[in-house]
Amino acid sequence: MKFFAVLLSLFLWDSATQAGQVFTSAVSHQSGSYFVEVDVLVEVAEPRARALLTDYNNLGQLNHAIEISEILKVRKPGDYQVRTVTEACVWFYCKRIHQVQDVIEAHDGSVTATVIPEQSDFRYGYARLNLWQETGGTRIVIRSEVEPDFWIPPVIGPWLIKRKLRSEALETVANLERVAQKSTLPQTTVSE
């Protein structure tokens, strides 16, 4: 969600800026919920892609809309509570979006994030990230569903939000390749 930056703070990105290959990039809207699916191959080794996508204190390096990303709690290795604050603007409408999620890194390599509604601007949210090494890079598949708990302009609002979500997810993927070329990751620490 915001965690995958993935997914909820999204921008306009055209195919000319792609370095990897996009297999699927879709957003749909139904009954107040938004469904996002992204399936890409990035020119980054899987361990590096995973390290960047799970560097919860530094997600802003992958998506400029993320102003704050921090680990609030570490329950045990691979089980976190993560907070993000994102500035999302679509044309004339801007909103600072707060989100707190329970993030689980499973033994099968998948990562899931579930929104905590009482601490977020969403009634519901869930995302699942899968990634694995393939020839030529890392395959990344993200599927998410979110239901905003804030006003969205009627009529064209859903169309604009869908466009923004798609572009943000694709920007995150494009930035992943750019950032992966840097030599080291910042040190991740737990907020007090």
Q: How far apart are CA 162 and CA 58, in angstroms?
A: 25
**Cα 1 → chain centroid:** 5
Token couple for 142: 């993200």
CATH number of the domain to which 19 belongs: 3.30.530.20
The kind and range of the H/E element at 111 are strand 111-115
Per-residue pLDDT at 51? 94
Beta strands 93-105; 111-115: pairing state: antiparallel
Question: Does residue 82 lie within any of the structural domains?
Answer: yes
Question: Does residue 190 lie within any of the structural domains?
Answer: no
As a whole-number percent, the residues of the chain with pLDDT over 70 amount to 76
Question: Does residue 187 lie within any of the structural domains?
Answer: no
Structural domains counted in the chain: 1
Question: Does residue 23 lie within any of the structural domains?
Answer: yes
Question: Does residue 69 lie within any of the structural domains?
Answer: yes
pLDDT digits (tens, 9 = 90+) for 136-180: 899 999 999 999 998 776 666 667 666 776 677 677 777 888 888
14-23, 28-37, 147-156, 174-183, range with the lowest pLDDT: 14-23
- Residues linked to residue 147 through DSSP beta bridges, in sequence order: 124
Range of the domain at 74: 15-180
Global confidence as pTM: 0.80
Residue spans of alpha helices (H) in the chain: 46-53, 157-180
Asked if pLDDT for residue 28 goes beyond 80, the answer is yes
Print the SS3 string covering 62-99.
Answer: CCCCEEEEEEEEEEECCEEEEEEEEEEEECCEEEEEEE
Give the residue with greater pLDDT, 188 vs 107.
Answer: 107
Q: How far apart are CA 113 and CA 118, in angstroms?
A: 15
Per-residue pLDDT at 89? 74
pLDDT digits (tens, 9 = 90+) for 36-69: 888 999 999 999 999 999 999 999 998 888 999 9
Residue 149, φ and ψ in degrees, nearest 5 = -115, 40
Question: Does residue 2 lie within any of the structural domains?
Answer: no
Per-residue pLDDT at 155? 64
Question: Does residue 169 lie within any of the structural domains?
Answer: yes
Question: Does residue 189 lie within any of the structural domains?
Answer: no
pLDDT digits (tens, 9 = 90+) for 65-101: 899 999 999 999 999 999 999 987 766 667 899 999 9
CA neighbor of 65 nearest in space, from 9, 17, 121? 9
